[in-house]
């Protein structure tokens, strides 16, 4: 897997996206769009919440052939986004509790989303086959 180590800051998202896109260029447009949305959501959440107003790093690993696997690793606060309840989409946006839509979208757009906590690190793995 190729690896990018970068500070978890929103202004670094373009570098993250360029790194991911350099490995998914042969994928169909729809698959790339799904991957980019998921990467945006996960990197944004790590940047905003993992280090609780401090700055830390994110390790992003990627492997792509007929499918893409992207792994995000941070040593921020423990957090398993896959354990969160799905948002109640029957409620209007005004009635719904904020949050949760991003990981919900990520789960819908990617083939698999898996979390593990290992060596005091959050590791989230996303997988997507070419459509």
Radius of gyration of the chain (CA): 15
DSSP state of 13: H
Question: Do the beta carbons of residue 51 and residue 8 sit within 8 Å?
Answer: yes
DSSP letters, 17-75, are HHHHHHHHTTS-HHHHHHHHHHHHHHHHHIIIIITTTS--EEEEEEEESSEEEEEEEE-
What's residue 87's pLDDT?
64
Q: In the structure, what pLDDT confidence band is assigned to residue 78 with cuts at 50, 70 and 90?
A: very high
At the topology level of CATH, where does 2-129 sit?
Heat Shock Protein 90 (3.30.565)
> Per the structure block, which two tokens stand in for 65?
């052939």
CA distance 80 to 95: 25
DSSP state of 120: T
> Per the structure block, which two tokens stand in for 53?
């107003």
pLDDT digits (tens, 9 = 90+) for 14-65: 999 999 999 998 999 999 999 999 999 999 999 999 999 888 999 999 999 9
> Per the structure block, which two tokens stand in for 23?
């490995």
The pLDDT of residue 92 is above 80: no
Question: Do the beta carbons of residue 121 and residue 69 sit within 8 Å?
Answer: no
Burial class (CB in 10 A: 0-12, 13-18, 19+), 99: exposed
**For the chain, which residues make up each domain, given as ranges?**
2-129
Q: In the structure, what pLDDT confidence band is assigned to residue 126 with cuts at 50, 70 and 90?
A: very high
pLDDT digits (tens, 9 = 90+) for 56-73: 999 999 999 989 999 999
pLDDT digits (tens, 9 = 90+) for 106-115: 999 999 999 9
């Amino acid at each position: 897997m190729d690896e990018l180590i970068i500070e978890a800051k929103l202004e670094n998202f373009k570098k993250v996206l360029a790194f991911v896109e350099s490995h998914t260029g042969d994928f169909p447009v729809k698959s790339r769009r799904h991957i980019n949305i998921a990467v945006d959501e996960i990197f944004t959440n790590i940047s905003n919440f993992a280090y609780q107003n401090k700055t830390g790093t994110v390790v992003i690993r990627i492997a792509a052939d007929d499918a893409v696997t992207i792994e995000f690793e941070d040593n921020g606060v423990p957090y398993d986004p896959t354990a969160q309840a799905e948002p109640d989409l029957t409620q209007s946006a005004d009635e719904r509790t904020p949050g949760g839509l991003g990981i919900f979208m990520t789960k819908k757009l990617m083939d698999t989303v898996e979390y593990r906590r290992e060596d005091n690190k959050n590791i989230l793995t996303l997988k997507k086959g070419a459509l």
